[in-house]
Structure 1
Amino acid sequence: MTDISTADGPTIIRIAAKGDGVTADGRHVPMSAPGDRLRIDGGLDFGPHHADPPCRHYPLCGGCQLQHLDDESYAAYVRDRVAGALVGQGVEAGVVLPAIVSPPRSRRRAALRAGRFGRKVALGFSSENSHRIVDLSMCETLDPALFALLAPLRTLLAPMLGDRRAVQAKMTLADQGVDLLIEGVEADGLELAEALTGFAQRHGLARLSVDDGYGPQTRYEPEPVTISFGGIAVASPPYAFLQATKDGERALAEAVRPALADAAVWADLFCGMGTFALTLGEGKRVYAAEAARGLVLSLKAAANRAQRQVAADHRDLFRRPLTVEELNRFDAILLDPPRAGAREQAAQLAASQVPAIAYISCNPGSFARDAKMLAEGGYRLDSVQPVGQFRWSTHVELAAIFRR
């Protein structure tokens, strides 16, 4: 007699956007991998692509959703996220390349939550869709220099935390070391001031800042904190935007380099601190636009010191995108908008005559929407490079090249 609890059922054929496995008949199965077989009792028989998660906190920790996939399946998931978004908008790409995935323990920027529960201080990522803090005793995504601070941070934060009141510890690996920003605490008084300074000195921090609700206040910074792009050091405000890994940043830059190769004059829109304006702008004239004034000033100063031809402009591209007439002055355009995409700017680009557009995105959905506008305006999507900087997560990035 067949045991109906273990009889063969449908097989997982792909991973959906939010990380569930999907069967051929459309059933979604959490924590499953391609090749897993769903039993009649709802359990899983693991297939060849189901991996042993390397972290003991998985799946409770919200930092990763897909550690149960082997490397082949995770890379395919990253690529399929991008390809599927394009299909959904009816956009045809010349080629969607195999995904480039950052290695473990390479993430150089992270925002962790901390809270005190009785005598215990918990510090880590939140569980997915929850305020529960997973107290990290290991992490397979963070750069070791960031993870090494977690244990001493618990001791530092203990007297600053009220019961069940969470604060944030934001860390960035800068040129000089770890840049730490603590948000949501009041650190008044000589004793706490000395504790902060002593902590920063003992652990060789590049900078330690505190934000009590009125903006970051630097408490320790022995020399100006910088992030380098293309060998040029740029002054970095506390927890300024930065690509999550060096490998990912390099992959994105190299993917769009061909679009800018023949451009003597090009524009970098949503430029941030100049990640791409400086990395890809040597020997070129670059117009760089960004809504955050502090980042614009940092880029302008760095470009001037390096004698780069970068015109940095404080401009909100959502409210005031470059017009068709302005765009047509450039040989190429690069844009790297936030997750919402660049609907307003894409509409202007679609009506322009710019020969080449490089589009870097952290959201395949909003990218595909904007790509449809560009395609309808006469642009051809030549290539798309999917990139998985947030290894084992459902967060996917990409770099694309459009040509008229």
Structure 2
Amino acid sequence: MTAELIVRIASRGDGITADGRKSPQAAPGDWLELDGSVTPGPHHVDPPCRHFPTCGGCQLMHVDDESYGGFAVDKIVGALRQQGIEPPEMAPIHLSPPRTRRRAALSIERKGRVVRVGFHEEASHRIVDMAECHILAPELFALVAPLRQLMARLLPDRGTATAQMTLTDSGVDLALEGMAAPGLEQSEALTMFAEGHGLARLSIDEGFGPETRWEPDAVTVTLGGVKVPLSAGAFLQATADGEAALVAAVIDAIGDAPTIADLFAGLGTFTLPLAARAKVYAAEGARDPMLALKGAAMQAGRAVFPEHRDLFRRPLSTSELDRFAAIVLDPPRAGAREQVATLAASTASRLAYVSCNPATFARDARALIAGGWRLDWIRPVGQFRWSTHVELASRFSR
């Protein structure tokens, strides 16, 4: 038995040989020696971050972009073939650049005088105290050191918290979860921190929902050229770059359709760009994002017709879907099994399906194909650079 060639990356990020041997932090083209050591090949790169591979924020920082793109395509193709679907045309992955992640959740703990802020180790409760980060936008990373100082004052010994950070039009929206700030001294410390670091908003969540402590101006994000109010905790695509790639793919998929249904519309990531040239019905199950979208579309004069609707419990019927020339579908990780059942029988001719989970996408694609739809193409998108998380945009047609 001799050294074996690593031929691909498995779904959890391990390098794997043709006969199934796995090795962590191995790239395609590496050689797995008999003793388990790895001899680097042409696609193995030096990780730029000192915290890799301990930090759970990244799993694939040791591979070049070519191999990372191959991993993403393999993951999608594998999910499709498990459902008996022959993969369509697959575009190269659109990969967001380093240091562009505009939202993240960092864990915080205090033990004595030591405060740690960062991501957890892989499959562990231990926090990697962040000294550098090559995925976070600089505006987010700039708050890490100041947060340590703030939490040294506010967190009790052995206390923990979570910092939800989102980059908005007017700065960072920071929500501190799992902690309390009941006294005047703590409240003043929070206000001084927010003002001193130019936060767009600072909220505290003691377990009963976020309570805003600082918001000098209404917090917004710009979608399709329209400023949309951002409620605390609302979903936003991980990078502006990835969002633009997904929007471009959706526009390409539905063409010049004059009437569009945007299902699981959220704040209007796709609704508002599409409404610049078409009439768009937008369905969303979360109340706050739907109200934000409604108000922003009205103010901008966009032809948007929003509805607060739970598409899992009350999906659009086939007769409702038949009113639209094209459909946009962007469900959460669970997919859209209930909505796909009626979509499969509708007469709509164009469908753009955006997914953050290749497995549930493939399951839904099988139901659509059985209903007469054709899967034309898929474009992988890597907003979560160096992670095993893969997203995609696709087009179905009849």
Q: How does the TM-score come out when normalised to structure 1? A: 0.97
Q: Which of 260, 263, 271 in structure 2 is aligned with 1:266?
A: 260
Considering only aligned residues, what root-mean-square deviation do their CA atoms show, in Å? 1.0
Q: Which of 177, 181, 202 in structure 2 is aligned with 1:183?
A: 177
**Cα-to-partner distance string for 1:236-278 (whole Å, 9 max, x where unaligned):** 0113100000110011111121232221111111111001000
Q: Determine if contact 1:171/1:239 at 8 Å carries over to the other structure.
A: no
- The secondary structure found in structure 2 opposite 1:11 is strand
Divergent runs of 4+, >3 A = none
Equivalent-residue separation in structure 1 for 2:302 and 2:8 (angstroms)? 47
Q: Determine if contact 1:266/1:285 at 8 Å carries over to the other structure.
A: yes
Equivalent-residue separation in structure 1 for 2:91 and 2:35 (angstroms)? 39
| Residue matched to 1:78 | 72
Question: What amino acid does structure 2 have at the position aligned with 1:240?
Answer: A
Equivalent-residue separation in structure 1 for 2:107 and 2:139 (angstroms)? 18
Summarize the alignment of residues 5-404 of structure 1 with structure 2, pairs less than 5 Å apart.
8-404=2-398
Q: Determine if contact 1:266/1:332 at 8 Å carries over to the other structure.
A: yes
Q: Determine if contact 2:344/2:367 at 8 Å carries over to the other structure.
A: yes
Equivalent-residue separation in structure 2 for 1:337 and 1:166 (angstroms)? 32
Question: What amino acid does structure 1 have at the position aligned with 2:278?
Answer: K
- The secondary structure found in structure 1 opposite 2:394 is strand
- The secondary structure found in structure 1 opposite 2:270 is helix
**Cα-to-partner distance string for 1:336-377 (whole Å, 9 max, x where unaligned):** 111111111111111111111100000011101101110111
1:159 positional shift: 2.5
Question: What amino acid does structure 1 have at the position aligned with 2:5?
Answer: T
Question: What amino acid does structure 1 have at the position aligned with 2:301?
Answer: Q
Q: Determine if contact 2:81/2:87 at 8 Å carries over to the other structure.
A: no
Q: Determine if contact 2:253/2:394 at 8 Å carries over to the other structure.
A: no
Question: What amino acid does structure 2 have at the position aligned with 1:268?
Answer: D
Q: Determine if contact 1:49/1:73 at 8 Å carries over to the other structure.
A: yes
**Cα-to-partner distance string for 1:300-331 (whole Å, 9 max, x where unaligned):** 00000001111111111111111111111110
Question: What amino acid does structure 2 have at the position aligned with 1:228?
Answer: T
Question: What amino acid does structure 2 have at the position aligned with 1:331?
Answer: A
Equivalent-residue separation in structure 1 for 2:360 and 2:203 (angstroms)? 34
Equivalent-residue separation in structure 1 for 2:359 and 2:158 (angstroms)? 36
Equivalent-residue separation in structure 2 for 1:166 and 1:324 (angstroms)? 48
Q: How does the TM-score come out when normalised to structure 2? A: 0.98
- The secondary structure found in structure 2 opposite 1:122 is strand
Question: What amino acid does structure 2 have at the position aligned with 1:11?
Answer: L
Equivalent-residue separation in structure 1 for 2:148 and 2:234 (angstroms)? 24
Equivalent-residue separation in structure 2 for 1:138 and 1:393 (angstroms)? 17
1:285 positional shift: 0.9
- When structure 1 is superposed on structure 2, of 249-258 and 220-229 the one drifting more is 249-258
Equivalent-residue separation in structure 1 for 2:85 and 2:297 (angstroms)? 37
Q: Determine if contact 1:8/1:37 at 8 Å carries over to the other structure.
A: no
| Residue matched to 1:4 | none
1:93 positional shift: 3.8
- The secondary structure found in structure 2 opposite 1:222 is coil
1:15 positional shift: 0.4
- The secondary structure found in structure 2 opposite 1:62 is coil
Equivalent-residue separation in structure 2 for 1:383 and 1:402 (angstroms)? 8
- When structure 1 is superposed on structure 2, of 165-174 and 138-147 the one drifting more is 165-174
1:164 positional shift: 2.9
Structure 1: tracts of 5 or more residues without a match:
1-6
1:152 positional shift: 0.4
Structure 2: tracts of 5 or more residues without a match:
none
- When structure 1 is superposed on structure 2, of 257-266 and 187-196 the one drifting more is 257-266
**Cα-to-partner distance string for 1:99-132 (whole Å, 9 max, x where unaligned):** 1100000000000100001210000011111111
Percent identity for Structure 1 against Structure 2: 59
